Structure 1
Amino acid sequence: MTVLAHGVGSRTDLPIPIGFALYGAGAAILASFAVLLLFWRSPHLGGPDAGRPLPAGLQRLLDSSGVRRGLQAVALLIAAFVVTAALAGPEETSRNLGPWVLFVTFWVGLVPVSLLLGPVWRVVNPLRLLHRLLRPLGPDAPGAAQLPALGLWPAAGALTVFVWLELVHPDRTEPVTVAVFLLGYAAVQLACAQWFGEGWFARGDGFEAYSTLIARLSPWGRRSDGRLVLRNPLANALATPSRPGLSALVMVLLGSTAFDGLTRTVWWQTGPGSANDWFSGTVGLLLSIALVSGLYVLGTRLSGRLAGQEQGVQPARYAATVIPIALGYTVAHYFSLLMLDGQTTWILISNPFGTDGVDLFGTYGNRVDLTAVSADVIALVQVGAIITGHVVGVILAHERALLSARRARASDQLPLVLVMVVFTLGGLGLLFGF
């Protein structure tokens, strides 16, 4: 089954026996929960200062302002090139580099890069370089004192705007739409940074916050003293600072991938989404985010009540445990898109402006190789990513419960585990259009 999705391109899903996948996934979550209660009776993952420090020389190189400014300059040149190609290249989406770079190579590729290398966009973010160049032209960050209270809420809002563009906007595949979005996004981010200071990007840039969130499951981390360390990715996730808006950021990722799956169901295509307009898509996206958020808040607060803990802090306390679930959904929904349609970027880069006779790297005449990844591999990655993400989420939630109360009764954690089971079954069902 081939379905248009994700701004540009298509995705191919294998129609495996959905009943087997659903029952197996639910059983895996519950079985892992039972094993944890029996054999994981004390914290195992270490604290926020766990890990093996990197050599001091390597850390100085990685933290060098010169290296970072150089990488940001390269990223800025690439971004300017993509915007120029979007505006001056061919009008047809299939031949214009801009949409493919934004929606596939950058947005999807940011996931594996952040998993392998850590929060790379925080290091190479070209907006940080532009801000440093523009900073002397305005006041000295008069709103900096307000920034901590905002937490990650601005980033959650920025990410919502992008997924709305990717999944809802009727003209999202138009190259000019991509160029206008990139220029408008940069202008808004730079204006906010002028007011709040450079710290704004960590809290207000949706892409930087997204990369940093995914990087919480990488082996690269920092101790409280700033030292770079290699450590267990699960310990890295639990060391995520509990900032306002962290839960919202994770819920935007979960809700948007849920909505993406929903739009491919017959029910949506013949019902609420039949008009294929921005209004029904906007309502559907917001309701999907609200639904997963409501289930998560309900599960965490019920778990807190059973454990005799303050309910209001539970969603923030367990937000980091949902990161692997969000990652699992993201991998399941975007893996085939990156591996198949991601080839288009490397085809078009040979002739970014559609000039007759130009073929810089000898790839312009190539076609997307749909056999590069088999349907069996796609299905295994999709199902495996969702199940693995939820199992890891259960492990992190159990460890968090132990750290919070030094005990782990089944009744205390059961509401949150049941919510994770619902997320698993719902995610698989929507993934395969069930």
Structure 2
Amino acid sequence: MRAIILSGVFLALTSGLLWAHAGEQGFVLLLPTAAYITAGGVTVAITVALLAVLPGGLTEALFRPFSLGRIRIWFRVRHAISLSVTLALGWLVWRGLVGPGDPGVNPLPLAIWVVFWIGLVTVQGLIGDVWRWINPWVGVAVLLRSFTGMRPPLRYPRALGHWPSVLGFLAFSGFLMADPAPTDPGRLAVVVGFYWYAMLVGVALFGPVWLIRGEAITVLMRTYRRVSFIGISKGCISIGGPGWQVLRAPKAGLGLAAFCLILLGSGSFDGVNETFLWLGILGINPLEFPGRSVVILPNILGLLATNSALVVVFTATLWVGERLAGGQPRPLRALFCLFAPTILPIALAYHIAHYLTAFLIDGQYVLAALARALDLTELTISAGFLNTPGPVRIIWMTQAGAVVAGHVIAILLAHALAMSAGDGRRRAVLGQAPLALFMIAYTVFGLWLLATPRGA
């Protein structure tokens, strides 16, 4: 057993950029994770039990925001910032093509995978909508329309809904998890440059609605902003408990509801595909991992299977709950669209927990790159904090706390949505019971995923 643990530590500490989130795993295996997993599941279960006895309007009150006053958005400033980000993105793509091949030195992989994918997505989900200011297509689209005066030649088909963005995000997740070298600067430059131009064509053909429904990154960021503390509505800036905007937003369409589930499913498989369990299923020795090129097809199929299974199980819990609640059953599609956004706090919590260690290590590469660009003192990259149990315990507890908090918020949101939809407390509790059990089980699964050995 000691040999396996030490081998896991060695592999984790010598892994490449963006696989550093497994670096503390050797010490995590020594923690009493079974007790923490049990405590997390019990915490979520107690939350469910309390909803059956607490006053009906309490959960809605927890998410009631308060206004901080009106805010004026200067669209010219917003468009200028967007254009600046677009120019910066163009420079990053150029550096990806002609710059150093080391992903720890080239600024493109650092910007995409550390600053954007870990940092900005987390800020968007926790704090507020920063994407509306830095969206790299908005400023260019406004500029093109100002110079040409042309209107979009095509009307976006209503039947498409958000399904193009669903396919786009699945492609993004597949590239992240199955491509042999997603951090290779040249390879990443081609992908980023092609995607930016393809989405600009979509904006030119269909107008801004393409960004709102068809462009996966914008839909991702607009979806996660529903979980953030700060929101803007009708010119007013408000702050409330995480998830309050889920209750205030219009009911999601079927495509957007599926997008919410796929955020969670893809994030979950992003952890599963690195575990000894998954590699064992594929017949691969985790201590002699042959490389990512061997698992391209299995990871793609696993990604699709995980998302499909999650959608099926989530839908089944809603179907069973509606029959437990009694009365005239509501259409399953309407229930799916109503409750799917309550999964967002869990998806965001998994994102934060999964990439926390990567951010602590790879963020140092970002700071080092900034120091070099500003001709400052060279910074030393260190993973030494992963070599002692104390910091590892703090990291793991933070990850576990994020996962548990995400599930508790999701349960409260689902209950508040059921109450606001006109269900009495009894009907809301009975109708949400299968979904609550699913969330308890998913809590245990998520905490196990944090603690289980990894080999890829």
| Shared fold (TM-score, shorter chain, > 0.5) | yes
Choose the corresponding residue for 1:389, options 401, 406, 410: 406
What displacement does 1:241 show? 2.6
Is the aligned partner of 1:45 residue 2:60? yes
Distance, in Å, in 2 between the alignment partners of 1:115 and 1:288 is 23
- What is the aligned partner in structure 2 of residue 247 from structure 1? 257
Measure how far apart 1:168 and its partner are: 1.0
Go from structure 1 to structure 2 and tell me whether the alpha carbon gap of 1:370 and 1:100 turns closer, same or farther (over 3 Å shift).
Answer: farther
Which residue number corresponds to residue 153 of structure 2? 142
Q: Does 1:125 align with 2:140?
A: no
- After superposition, residues 277-426 of structure 1 pair within 5 angstroms as 277-307=295-325, 308-351=329-372, 360-363=375-378, 366-371=380-385, 374-409=391-426, 410-426=429-445
Provide, for residues 222-244 of structure 1, a one-character-per-residue CA deviation record: whole Å limited to 9, x for no partner.
33x44332333332222233232
Alpha carbons of 1:272 and 1:143: their partners in 2 closer, same or farther (altered >3 Å)? Answer: farther
Q: Distance in 2 between matches of 1:36 and 1:302?
A: 19
Can you list the C-alpha shifts for 1:302-359, whole angstroms capped at 9, x where unaligned?
Answer: 222333333221111102211111111111101111122121122123447xxxxxx7
Partner AA of 2:349 in structure 1: G
Deviations 1:6-46 (A, max 9, x none): 97341133223232123222211111111111013236536
Match of 1:356 in 2: none
Distance 1:189 1:330 in 2: 25
Residue aligned with 2:101, SS = coil
Report whether the alignment pairs 1:172 with 2:172: no
Q: Which structure dedicates a bigger proportion of its chain to helix?
A: 2
User: Is structure 2 residue 53 aligned with structure 1 residue 34?
Assistant: no
Distance 1:40 1:103 in 2: 44
From 182, 201, 216, the equivalent of 1:206 is: 216
Unpaired runs of 5+ residues, structure 1, are: 353-358
Shift of 1:412: 1.9
Q: Deviations over 1:263-285 (max 9, x none)?
A: 22213223327373321111111
Q: In the TM superposition, what is the alpha-carbon distance from 1:70 to its structure 2 partner?
A: 2.1
| Contact in 2 for aligned 1:75/1:126 (Cα 8 Å) | yes
1:205 aligned partner, one-letter code: E
Deviation at 1:154, TM superposition (A): 2.2
Measure the CA separation in 1 of the matches of 2:224 and 2:344: 7
C-alpha separation in 2, matches of 1:76 and 1:257: 27
1:5/1:167 contact within 8 Å kept: no
Among 209, 214, 227, the alignment partner of 1:217 is: 227
Distance in 2 of aligned mates of 1:90 and 1:25: 44
CA deviations 1:131-184 (Å, max 9, x no partner) are 2233465962233352x5433322222222111111110121211111011111
Alpha-carbon distance between aligned partners in 2 of 1:247 and 1:201, rounded to the nearest angstrom: 17
Is the alpha carbon distance of 1:138 and 1:164 closer, same or farther for their aligned partners in structure 2, counting shifts above 3 Å? farther
Letter of the structure 2 residue corresponding to residue 305 of structure 1: R
Specify the code of the residue in structure 1 equivalent to 2:106: N
- TM-score, structure 1 length as denominator? 0.89
Aligned to 1:67: 77
How far the C-alpha of 1:92 sits from its partner, in A, is 2.6
Identical pairs, percent: 27
Verify: 1:104 aligned to 2:114, yes or no.
Answer: yes
Q: Mind listing any 5+ residue stretches in structure 2 that lack a counterpart?
A: 1-8, 285-289
Distance 1:374 1:78, change over 3 A: farther
CA–CA separation in structure 1 for the residues paired with 2:167 and 2:322: 27
SS in 2 for 1:371: helix
8 Å Cα contact 1:301-1:315 kept in structure 2: no
Q: For 1:415 and 1:367, locate their aligned partners in 2 and report how far apart those are by CA, in whole Å.
A: 47
TM-score scaled by structure 2? Answer: 0.84
C-alpha contact 2:345 2:409 (8 A) present in aligned 1: yes
**1:370 and 1:143, CA in 2 relative to 1: closer, same or farther beyond 3 A?**
farther
Displacement of 1:394: 0.8
For each residue in 1:36-89, what CA deviation from the matched residue of structure 2 results, as whole angstroms up to 9, or x when unmatched?
1101323653699x6444444xx11xx111220121122112212211221111
Moved more, 269-278 or 206-215: 269-278
